[in-house]
A and B are shown apart, each in its own frame.
Chain A
Amino acid sequence: MIEIADVSLVDWSRAQFALTAMYHWIFVPLTLGITIIIAFMETLYVKTGKEEWKKITKFWMTLFGINFAIGVATGIILEFEFGTNWSNYSWFVGDIFGAPLAIEGILAFFMESTFIAIMFFGWNKVSKKTHLLATWLTAIGANLSALWILVANGWMQKPVGMTFNPETARNEMNNFWEVLFSQTAVDKWLHATSSGFVLAAVFVIGISAWYLLKKREVLLAKKSILVAAVFGLISSVYLIMTGDNSTRTIANDQPMKFAALEGLYNGSEGAGLVAVGLFSTSETDPNNENLKDFSMKLEIPNFLSYMAFLDWNAFVPGIHDLIDGNEKYGYMPASEKIERGRVAIQKLGEFKEAKKAGNTQLANTLKTELTSESFQNNYFKYFGYGYFENPQDLVPNVPLTFYSFHTMVGLGFFFVLLFVLSIIYIVKGTFDKKRWFMRLAVISIPLAYVASQSGWIVAELGRQPWVVQDLMPTMAAVTRISAGSVQTTFWLFAVLFTVLLIAELKIMFRQIKIGPKH
């Protein structure tokens, strides 16, 4: 049967994935957004024929190129890491999960790499219009590649469009469109790409503001701010809308994640939203260290119910309702799910035994039972729970999820304000007179990265202990290898990526200092 790997192997494998994914995500959002901003700028160049727009375009392109190279470098690990470190996962769900990765390569990566070469080297080789087309296609290619990987991620959060095949011991796809157009996948794609747009807009405004503080490149800075702020404002409003949608999807599909990101322990009707909260460091639930009490909180009554279910009085389940069960509102206790999961695992084992013993008749009977709809809905649905001993292990790290979520949301509203003020000041011509605002714009750059990383912490830590929601716990997904090997590669990548990041930052800062080529 599927064996559970030892704790340190699981932890190191998770650490390695987190490290490589987070490093990769430092560079991806900027790529998603800045390619579009550059494409707008070049469009203005082609439309107006003004050389200054060409210069602006090329300047941002240079910064983009520096960022892109390291984005590619950190990305290749991820494509193969599912196999190298999560091979049990790769088999269990490969029939579904592999497809988006392949499509990503075939449809998006080639588009990106073909047209990026034209974008950088084609100025004197192709016509103006073709060049502009290439720039747009690079932007579209980048955002399309995000689509496929988020489809893959969305599927892990809410597995759809498949059935379990006991013969092969894996899940097999039976509906491609359900996988592609799952609400979770669509929400995630829209939210993640628009978060990239916002980050890129903050990046462009911040660097331009730095020039204005230094009284340099004034024309470039002002024009860039205008383009970026308008783009940023639209994107940030959209970002909040898509984030809000994601929240509702989670409330339905991943109630535990939802309860964690809101720090909701006891469910209630007309639940209030904790807008600001601080967990106490000492007081914890005696049964579960992930459950820390609030030492301070500011709550908006009924708001959570509305946010989750568009109904001011709806019942929102808390962590205790999900663990201990709540008969009144129809929540099954976790212990019951664990029992059912065990039945599913055991049945599968019996089937495998019968096959091995050559008892075809018994095997067939068991197979029929395993694949029957009632077994699927009543037992197999909880397959992953069967791995757990203690229901408390089903709770993610609440404080971290809560803080990350609230940081992200808070910054989301802050960016809207930043863009609105940027537009007002730039239109009124007072942007370069307000030193406080220029400084604020500069320090907003790291904040955008913080928001963006927080988003993934919410999405990925909030869903623990699952790698595939309800079906496969993280601990059952890892490759069977010595923890020492994974530890070695963890440090290898930690050092390599850090060195490359330092190089990238130094180059980036220097290029900003040098400014556009005159």
Chain B
Amino acid sequence: MFENLSHLALQHYWWVLVSILAALFVFLTFVQGGQTLLYSVGKTEGEKTIILNTLGRKWEFTFTTLVTFGGAFFASFPLFYSTSFGGAYWVWLAILAAFVIQAVAYEYRKKPANFLGAKTFEIFLVLNGLLGTILIGTAVGTFFNGAMFSLNDMNQVDWQTPYRGLEAVLTFHNVALGLAVFFLARVLGALYFIFTVEHETIVARSKKQLLYNTIPFLVFFLYFLIWLLLKEGFAVNPESGEVFMEKYKYLHNVLQMPLNSVILLVGIAGVLWGIISTLFMNSGKGFWFAGTGTVFTVFALFLLAGFNNTAFYPSVYDLQSSLTIQNASSSKFTLTAMSYVSLMIPFVLAYIVYFWRVMNRKKITEEEMQEESHVY
């Protein structure tokens, strides 16, 4: 079945899959956002325990999605994997370090004789939430603003600044996306507490945080989006593969891919509805609206970056080194084989969703923290 698809169709299919993974990842950063709310929502030890346990049962999904995102990108667009990870070395290593410290923090925080003390592990979690979201958001910003690299004959990367990717923070548009992701993660984290925790004070404080974080989220996100639609973009000539600058490229993409634009709008509306219904209508389901909205929004942004003859990882140093879904992809054979593997994804998603619901059937309470044998 996949054999009959053209190489180009497979490249598009895999860009869709990678975009879905990215979208799910951003949604799942509610864990990271929640971690950064640890001290503002949890004042007592008991409250902190509840917060970290409700997040702690999910952190591995976020982590695994990130790892799978890396693997899937490697398999489908290996030139991105080698160029971006090898090139923007410091950015990626900083991101990785932020996730290393997360992985031990939940399990070790409360254990006796933990060497560093509970406080250190809590700080690890806050750092992970802060750096993980801002850096990844900023790094994704370079999909629209370009990076400083060139590729030689053998497709080997040479990075053109000694900061190896950290220079992305000098472009405010990148940082705006990073901050938008950060505040969105906090919004989602607050919504998740409201959705899963049965504890008056925690819920009340979460609502307050929801409001406080919605405002900067909207400011940064709208700035990012509006500027995106107004800026020049990196277009590709589909015949020659030549990359050139096009005025209003992303606006053109929005207009030329109406279905994707609908997804984008529905996504944004979903996030807003999730927030509004929680703040003003006391709905407990805001998390799902905002979460689904996040998935839609991020997905649509990724398609804006890679579809419609756009270079998804442009080089501002050497335009012709820019990566497109065509020149960066795996061979037709590999994409075909991997497409068969991708048929397993719905199945994987299904069991995750099923068991997620089983585990979240009851809200988390203070009593449960006392009875439960495995507490973070």
On chain B, the residues within 8 Å of A75 by CB distance are 67
A505 CA to B39 CA in the complex, in Å?
Answer: 28
A65 CA to B72 CA in the complex, in Å?
Answer: 27
Closest chain A CB from B135 CB (angstroms) = 13
On chain A, the residues within 8 Å of B66 by CB distance are 76
Query: Which among A84-92, A304-312, A396-404 touches the partner chain?
Result: A84-92
Q: Contact check: which of A76, A98, A514 meets B330 at CB < 8 Å?
A: A98
Contact A98 B154 (CB under 8 A): no
Q: Contact check: which of A98, A110, A480, A492 meets B64 at CB < 8 Å?
A: A110
Contact B82 A91 (CB under 8 A): yes
Given A65-B374, A105-B67, also A506-B114 (CB < 8 A): yes
On chain A, the residues within 8 Å of B154 by CB distance are 1-2, 88, 91, 169, 352
Contact A113 B61 (CB under 8 A): yes
Contact B333 A107 (CB under 8 A): no
Is A427 an interface residue, CB under 8 A from the partner?
no
Is B76 an interface residue, CB under 8 A from the partner?
yes
Contact A94 B81 (CB under 8 A): yes
A58 CA to B58 CA in the complex, in Å?
Answer: 21
Contact A76 B67 (CB under 8 A): yes
Contact A99 B338 (CB under 8 A): yes
Contact B63 A116 (CB under 8 A): no
Closest chain B CB from A95 CB (angstroms) = 5
Is B352 an interface residue, CB under 8 A from the partner?
yes
Chain B 69-89, CB-CB to A under 8 Å as 1, else 0, gives: 111101110110111111101
Closest chain A CB from B79 CB (angstroms) = 6
Contact B111 A507 (CB under 8 A): yes
Contact B355 A102 (CB under 8 A): no
A479 CA to B100 CA in the complex, in Å?
Answer: 22
Closest chain B CB from A68 CB (angstroms) = 8
Is B171 an interface residue, CB under 8 A from the partner?
no
A-B contact count (CB 8 A): 268
Query: Which among A43-51, A170-178, A280-288 touches the partner chain?
Result: A170-178
Is A96 an interface residue, CB under 8 A from the partner?
yes
A482 CA to B78 CA in the complex, in Å?
Answer: 23
In the complex, how many residues of chain A place their beta carbon closer than 8 angstroms to a beta carbon of chain B? 87
Closest chain B CB from A346 CB (angstroms) = 14
8 A Cβ contacts from B25-81 to A: 57-58, 60-61, 63-64, 66-72, 74-76, 78-79, 81
Contact A503 B115 (CB under 8 A): yes
8 A Cβ contacts from B81-129 to A: 81-87, 89-90, 92-93, 96-97, 99-104, 106-108, 111-116
In the complex, how many residues of chain B place their beta carbon closer than 8 angstroms to a beta carbon of chain A? 77
A102 CA to B157 CA in the complex, in Å?
Answer: 22
8 A Cβ contacts from A30-74 to B: 58, 61-62, 65-66, 68-70, 72-74
Q: Contact check: which of B69, B74, B155, B371 meets A83 at CB < 8 Å?
A: B74
Contact A511 B85 (CB under 8 A): no
Closest chain B CB from A54 CB (angstroms) = 10
A58 CA to B351 CA in the complex, in Å?
Answer: 24
Can you name the residue of chain B whose Cβ is closest to the Cβ of A123? B373
Closest chain B CB from A329 CB (angstroms) = 36
Contact A503 B104 (CB under 8 A): yes
Is B337 an interface residue, CB under 8 A from the partner?
yes
On chain A, the residues within 8 Å of B362 by CB distance are 125
A191 CA to B162 CA in the complex, in Å?
Answer: 43
Closest chain A CB from B338 CB (angstroms) = 6
Contact A511 B337 (CB under 8 A): no
Contact B355 A98 (CB under 8 A): no
Is A77 an interface residue, CB under 8 A from the partner?
yes
- A residues within 8 Å of B by Cβ? 1-2, 58, 61-62, 65-66, 68-70, 72-77, 79-80, 82-88, 90-91, 94-99, 101-107, 109-118, 120-126, 165, 168-170, 172-174, 176, 352, 356, 479-482, 485, 489, 492, 496, 499-500, 502-504, 506-507, 509-511, 514, 517
Given A73-B101, A117-B359, A170-B155, 7 more A-B residue pairs with CB atoms under 8 Å apart are A80-B85, A83-B86, A84-B85, A97-B74, A98-B330, A352-B154, A511-B111
Task: Give 28 pairs: A residue, B residue, CB < 8 Å, sorted on A.
Answer: A2-B156, A66-B107, A69-B106, A76-B63, A80-B96, A83-B74, A84-B93, A91-B155, A94-B74, A95-B334, A101-B75, A102-B71, A103-B75, A103-B338, A114-B351, A115-B355, A117-B58, A118-B359, A121-B374, A125-B358, A168-B331, A172-B331, A172-B333, A173-B334, A176-B333, A356-B153, A485-B164, A503-B108
